[in-house]
Structure 1
C-alpha cells in the first residue's frame, strides 16, 4: 500500500495534518463550557460577557471543525481516486507485459477481481480511514493530554475504565472468532446456493425439480438465520457490556472528584470538564475496531495484486534470431493439470509449408499440444522450440509475429467486422483482408450482413452465430501473417465440403505456412503431409493418409466410419421391405474395426 501511494504521500500527510486541526477544534467547545461553568461558580457577575465570548469562539470552533474536516476529506478522496487510477493503469500495464501462459493460468475472474474489486477496496481505506482513523487515534491522545493538564488523578480515573472494558468483553466474547468463521462459511454457502438456484431455475422447471431446489434454498436460509441468531445472542451482551463499561467512567470520576474538590485540590469546573471529556475519550476507538475488521479484506486484495505488480518484462529474443524458414519442434514434452497427466513424451516437428493434423479421441491431449505450440502453455517436461529458441522465452510481440492460434472458442470485440479482422495486423491491405476472408469461407456471410465489413458486432460477437464467429476468427488468424498457424477445432463450423474447400484454399493461398490442425473429422486431411494419432496423451501413430490406412487401426476405423456416414440415404417405400420410409444402415464401429 505504501508503494502504491508513491507520489501521493505528501497530499495524504496534508490531509492528516488538517485532520489534527479538526480534532483540536472539536475539543474547543469542552474548554469553552469549562470556562462558562468556572465563571458561573467563581464570578457570576462576569457570566454574561463570558458566555458571549464563549458563543463567538464556539461559532469559530465549529466553522473551523467543519472546514478542516471538509478539506481533509476533499484531499483524501482526490488522492484516493488518483491512487486508484494509477494502480489500475499499473495493473493493466503489467498484465499487458505478462507472459501469455501465466495470463491464461490466472483466469479472467481472478484478474477482474484484482483490477476492479480489489482496487475499489482501497478507496475506503485511503479516502475514509485515513481521516477517520487518524481522528479516532488523535482525539483520545489530545483528550488524555488535556485531562492530565487538569489533574492527573482525574485522568487516571477516566482511563481506568478502558482496560476494564476490554477485559470484561474478552471474557464474555471468548470464542467469537470461531463463530465469525462459521458465519463467513454460512454466508458463502448461502450465496452459492442462491446463485445456483437462480441460474439453473429454467433447468429445474424443465425437470419439475423447482420445488425441491427451493427447499434446499429454504434449508440454507434457515441454517443461516439460525446461526445469525446464535451469534447475536452471544455477541450482543458482550458488546453491550463493553460499551457500557466504556461509559462508566463517572462511577470513578465523580466520587474521586468530590473528594478532591472537598480538599480544595481541584475545582468543581475541573471535575465537570473531566466528566465531559471522559465521555468521549474511548468512543473513537469503536471506529478503530471497525477499521481492523475491514482490513483483512483490503490486505487480501493487496496480496492478490502483488504477483501482478511483480511481473517483469521477461526475456526477449532479438528478431534476427528467428528467421524464415522456421521449424517448430516439441521434444519429449509432458504436461499435467495437477495430479492428472495429460501428455507424456510427445515429440513432433512442424516445418515451413507443411500441413500437419492431430487426431484422437476427446481428452487425449490434442488441444493441450495446440496450446503449447502457440505458447499459451509451458511444458512441464521436455522442450518446445522454434528454430532452436524456446517458445516460452519469446517476447509477446515476437511470439505473435511467429505463431497464430484460432480455436472454436472465439472472442470478438465490440466494433465492426473490419475492426475485428484487422486486430491482428492493423496495416493490412484491402486485398490481403479479402483474400483471408475468402480462404476462411467467410466472404458470403459478410456480404450478406446489413453493412458488410462495416457491420457492428457486440462484445463476444453476440449478433453472429457460432460458425460465423469461427470463420471471422480464422480469417483474423490468417491476417496475422505468421509463419506457424494453429487451428484448434477452428473448422467445427464447416460441413465436409466446406472443410475440404477450406484446406485446399489455405494451402493454395498460404503455401509457406507451417499448419497444425486439431480435428475430429477427416474431411480434407488426406492431403496432409503428416497426421499424428494421439491416444491417452501419447502419439501412437504418425504418417500420411495412405500410410495410416495401412498401419493404424484407429485411423482406419475412423476413416471408414466417416465414409459410411456420407453414404446414409433415405429410401422410399417401394425400395425396401415393409412400409414407410427407412434407411440403409452402415456397419457398426465394431464391424469397421474388425474389417
Structure 2
C-alpha cells in the first residue's frame, strides 16, 4: 500500500475527514444565529440603502389601494347612470380615468426607484464581500489551503455570494410591499363593508396555523442544509480531481465513495425534513388558492347583494381585493 493510499484511508476513517458527520451535527441553532450576526455585520455598509428601499416598497404597497378607490367611484358613476337610463358624465368619467392612470404610474415609478436602489446596493455588497474574501485568502497560510477543500471555497466565493442576490436586491422591496399592499387593501375592504372584508380573509386563519406548524425550526434546518451542500460540493471536487488517479491506478469505487455518501446523506436529510410537510403545504396552498377565495367572496357577496346589504360594485371590488392575498403570500414565502 502506498503512502497516498494510507492517507486516503485515514481521511475516510477519521472523524475530521471530508465525509465526516461532525460538520453536519454542529448545533444548527447556534449556526443559524451566527449566520444572522455575520450577515448583519456584512450588510452594515448598505443598511441605509436597504432601509430606504423598504420605505419605498412599503409606500408602493400602500398605493395599491388607490386604483381600487378610483374603480369604486367609477363603478358607482356608471351604475348610477345605468339605473337612471341616461349617459354618464363624460368629464367625471375622464377625470376618474386620469386619476386611475396616474395612480398606476406613480406606484410603479416608486417600485422602479426602489429596485434600482437595492440592485445598486447588491452590486456594492458583492464587491465588498469578494474583496474581503480575496484579502483573507491572500493572507492565509499555505497549510490552510492544504487542509481546506477547494469545493468549500468555491461554494463560499461563487454560490453563496450569488444566492444572496435575492436577499439584497429583491427581498427589502418585495417583502415590504407584500405586507403593506394586502394590509392596506384589506383595510379598505372593511371600509367598503365589514362583512365583505371578513369574507376576504375567511381562509387566512387556516393557512396561518398550517404555516406556523411548517415553519417551525426553519432557521436551524436551513443551516443544516447549507452544511450538507458544502459537504457535497467538497466531495464532488475531490471526485472530479481524482478521476485521473482512478484511470492511472484503477482504484475503482473508492474515488466516488465519499461523494456518494455525502449525496445520500443530503438526500436522506432533505427527504426526512420535507416529506411530512407535503400534506400541510398542499392544504395551506389550497386554503388560499385564488379559486377558493373567489368562490367565497363572490358567493357570500352575491347573497349580501341579493339582500340589499351591499351593491354589486362593492362585491366586485372586495372580490378583486381578496385575490391579491395569494400573490402576497407567495412573495413572502419566497423571500423567507
Rounded Cα–Cα distance in structure 1 between residues aligned with 2:49 and 2:223: 38
C-alpha displacement at 1:189, in angstroms? 6.1
**Structure with the bigger percentage of strand:** 1
Instruction: Pick one of 240, 244, 247 that aligns with 1:202.
Output: 244
C-alpha displacement at 1:158, in angstroms? 1.9
C-alpha displacement at 1:80, in angstroms? 3.2
Contact 1:36 1:51 in 2 (8 A): yes
Q: 1:224 to 1:20 in 2, by over 3 A?
A: closer
Aligned: 1:81 with 2:102: no
- TM-score of the pair, normalised by structure 1: 0.39
Contact 2:56 2:114 in 1 (8 A): yes
- Secondary structure of the residue aligned to 1:283 is helix
C-alpha displacement at 1:128, in angstroms? 1.6
Q: 1:170 to 1:122 in 2, by over 3 A?
A: closer
C-alpha displacement at 1:243, in angstroms? 1.8
C-alpha displacement at 1:230, in angstroms? 8.2
Rounded Cα–Cα distance in structure 2 between residues aligned with 1:180 and 1:11: 27
C-alpha displacement at 1:116, in angstroms? 7.0
Tell me which residue corresponds to 2:316.
272
Aligned: 1:253 with 2:291: no
Rounded Cα–Cα distance in structure 1 between residues aligned with 2:260 and 2:132: 44
C-alpha displacement at 1:55, in angstroms? 4.2
- Secondary structure of the residue aligned to 1:249 is helix
Rounded Cα–Cα distance in structure 2 between residues aligned with 1:193 and 1:106: 14
- Secondary structure of the residue aligned to 1:284 is helix
Instruction: Pick one of 271, 274, 283 that aligns with 1:241.
Output: 283
Residues 359-407 of structure 1 deviation map (CA, whole Å, 9 limit, x = unaligned): xxxxxxxxxxxxxxxxxxxxxxxxxxxxxxxxxxxxxxxxxxxxxxxxx
Tell me which residue corresponds to 1:19.
57
C-alpha displacement at 1:277, in angstroms? 0.5
Contact 2:58 2:173 in 1 (8 A): no
C-alpha displacement at 1:164, in angstroms? 0.9
Trace 1:346-365 onto structure 2 (pairs within 5 A): none
Rounded Cα–Cα distance in structure 1 between residues aligned with 2:226 and 2:45: 37
Trace 1:164-175 onto structure 2 (pairs within 5 A): 164-168=206-210
Instruction: Pick one of 41, 44, 59 that aligns with 2:79.
Output: 41
The unaligned stretches of length 5 or more in structure 1 are 293-595
Tell me which residue corresponds to 1:64.
106
- Secondary structure of the residue aligned to 2:250 is coil
Contact 1:30 1:273 in 2 (8 A): yes
**Structure with the bigger percentage of helix:** 2
Rounded Cα–Cα distance in structure 1 between residues aligned with 2:329 and 2:111: 18
C-alpha displacement at 1:196, in angstroms? 3.2
C-alpha displacement at 1:259, in angstroms? 4.1
Q: 1:114 to 1:62 in 2, by over 3 A?
A: same
Contact 1:201 1:210 in 2 (8 A): no
Contact 1:162 1:282 in 2 (8 A): no
C-alpha displacement at 1:104, in angstroms? 9.6
Rg: which structure is higher? 1
Tell me which residue corresponds to 1:395.
none
Q: 1:176 to 1:233 in 2, by over 3 A?
A: farther
Aligned: 1:139 with 2:181: yes
Q: 1:50 to 1:232 in 2, by over 3 A?
A: farther
Q: 1:270 to 1:113 in 2, by over 3 A?
A: same
Rounded Cα–Cα distance in structure 1 between residues aligned with 2:258 and 2:157: 34
Trace 1:377-388 onto structure 2 (pairs within 5 A): none
Q: 1:17 to 1:225 in 2, by over 3 A?
A: closer
Instruction: Pick one of 285, 288, 294 that aligns with 2:332.
Output: 288
The number of aligned residues is 289
Contact 1:36 1:47 in 2 (8 A): no
C-alpha displacement at 1:280, in angstroms? 0.9
Rounded Cα–Cα distance in structure 2 between residues aligned with 1:43 and 1:259: 24
- Greater shift, 216-225 or 241-250, is seen at 216-225
Rounded Cα–Cα distance in structure 2 between residues aligned with 1:207 and 1:99: 33
Q: 1:269 to 1:191 in 2, by over 3 A?
A: same
- TM-score of the pair, normalised by structure 2: 0.64
Which of the pair has the greater relative contact order for Cα pairs under 8 Å at 6+ separation?
A: 2
Rounded Cα–Cα distance in structure 1 between residues aligned with 2:137 and 2:265: 42
